[in-house]
Every structure is written in C-alpha cells, then in structure tokens.
C-alpha cells in the first residue's frame, strides 16, 4: 500500500525489452534506498513494482505485459521523470489516501490553466472510470494523491498547489499527455457491495432490514 505522497522524482535510466515485458532501470535521485531489499515494492508514477536489483544509484523493476497495457510505462522514454514512493509502513502518517498501486486506466490532459499560483488540470477518462470519481473525493494521478474539484461523465478537474508541482512530474504535464489513473479504493468496494449484497441480489430495504440496519419494511 501507498499514500500518494511522492518522495522524489527519479529518472528512467534504461529500458530492456524482455519479450512482451520489459525491465526498467530507475535512477532514484533523492530516494533513500538504505532500507530497501530485494522484493520490496516501489510505486513508479503510479504502478506498484517489485525491486529485482538495486545499488546506490538506483533500482531495477520488471514490468509485465499486463502492466504495460494498462499504464503509460510502455510509452516512457529514457530520461523521462517518474514519481517515486516506497511502500507505506504501519508506523507512518497517512498523509494522502490509501493507494494500492494498481492502476485502473489511462487519462489524458484536456486542459491546463493557471489559477493564481496553482495549476488547474482537466483530465479526460473513460466513462467506466469516471463513475468512481466524486466531488471532493480522492484520485491518484501518476502516483500523486489529489482531490477531485469537479467530476463529469467523461472527465474530472484537479487543482495542484506549487509544492506538488515542484516535487512531482505533474508540473511538466501538457495538453494531450497521458497519466496513470487509480480511483479511490473504497469506491470500488462500495460498488461491489451495492451490486452483490450479502445474498448476491444487491442492497435493498429488505436486505438492510434482514441484516439489522433498518426496521422491517412490512
């Protein structure tokens, strides 16, 4: 699990194709690797990836065909910046929101507008993702925890503060750029519970009464 609070921006140092997959070498920059071990998880611009090799300068991860298909990693080039966050420890503050590192889909920047010291972005997303986004809810873009300022049927809006623009890759986003989108973890489970319910028939007044949450409907 992660928080969406990016530790630093690293750089994609090397790309090695491996059949339908690939291995990435990440120059870790300011990320402290002193406590990293083989098999640890690091979020790289959103996707949770497993460390397969590391040294003082950076680390390497293998990216599966499935991850390449669902994220922007397969479109990245050597030298591109990537947002980095190590996995959450239980004794740390949860400064953002609960992030799994399992990207749901790809969005595209449709607007970038200055708003004082801030930047306003409008991100276009498929309808099947937009349904999980709500006003003042949480969303993770390229590994960054953000608040949804407005949500439409096929897009949503975020307002980024100067600190976020300086400490992540979001400040470099331009109209037309793609971003990894992970919707709020809770939203997915709520939908599943509402659609299935305890007996597989969804949630109704009768099922809530049977579970003791409301008085009987008779």
CA–CA distance, 137 with 156 (Å, rounded to integer): 11
Give which of 105, 123, 106, 107 is closest to 159, Cα–Cα. 123
Q: Which tens digit of pLDDT belongs to each residue from 102-118?
A: 999 999 999 999 999 99
> pLDDT confidence of 191, banded at 50, 70, 90?
confident
CB proximity list for 150: less than 8 A, separation 6 or greater = 135, 156, 157
pLDDT of res. 119: 97
Which region, left, alpha or beta, applies to residue 207 given φ > 0 means left and ψ of -120 to 50 means alpha? alpha
Sign of the CA dihedral with 102 first, then 44, 181, and 133 last: positive
Give which of 75, 46, 66 is closest to 141, Cα–Cα. 46
Q: Which tens digit of pLDDT belongs to each residue from 4-54?
A: 999 999 999 999 999 999 999 999 999 999 999 999 999 999 999 999 999
Q: Which tens digit of pLDDT belongs to each residue from 50-105?
A: 999 999 999 999 999 999 999 999 999 999 999 999 998 877 777 888 899 999 99
Alpha helices in the chain (DSSP H): 65-70, 127-130, 162-167, 185-196, 205-210
Q: Which tens digit of pLDDT belongs to each residue from 192-206?
A: 777 765 555 666 667
What is the set of domains in the chain, with CATH numbers?
A: 8-86 (2.40.30.20), 105-183 (2.40.30.20)
């Amino acid at each position: 699990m992660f928080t969406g609070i990016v530790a630093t921006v690293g750089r994609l140092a090397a790309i090695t194709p491996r059949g339908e997959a690939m291995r990435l070498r990440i120059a870790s920059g300011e990320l402290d690797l002193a406590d990293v071990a083989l098999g640890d998880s690091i979020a790289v611009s959103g996707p949770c990836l497993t460390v397969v090799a590391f040294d003082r300068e950076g680390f390497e991860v293998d990216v599966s065909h499935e991850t390449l298909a669902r994220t922007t990693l397969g479109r990245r080039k050597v030298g591109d910046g990537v947002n980095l966050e190590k996995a959450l420890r239980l004794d740390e503050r949860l400064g953002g929101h609960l992030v799994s590192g399992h990207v749901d889909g790809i969005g595209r920047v449709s607007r970038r507008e200055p708003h004082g010291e801030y930047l306003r972005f409008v991100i276009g997303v498929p309808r099947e993702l937009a349904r999980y986004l709500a006003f003042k809810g949480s969303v993770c873009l390229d590994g960054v925890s953000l608040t949804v300022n407005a949500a439409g049927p096929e897009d949503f809006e975020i307002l980024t503060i100067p600190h976020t623009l300086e400490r992540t890759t979001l400040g470099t986003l331009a109209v037309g750029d793609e971003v990894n989108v992970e919707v709020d973890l809770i939203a997915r489970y709520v939908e599943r519970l509402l659609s299935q319910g305890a007996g597989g028939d969804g949630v109704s007044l009768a099922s809530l009464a049977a579970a003791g949450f409301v008085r009987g409907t008779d």
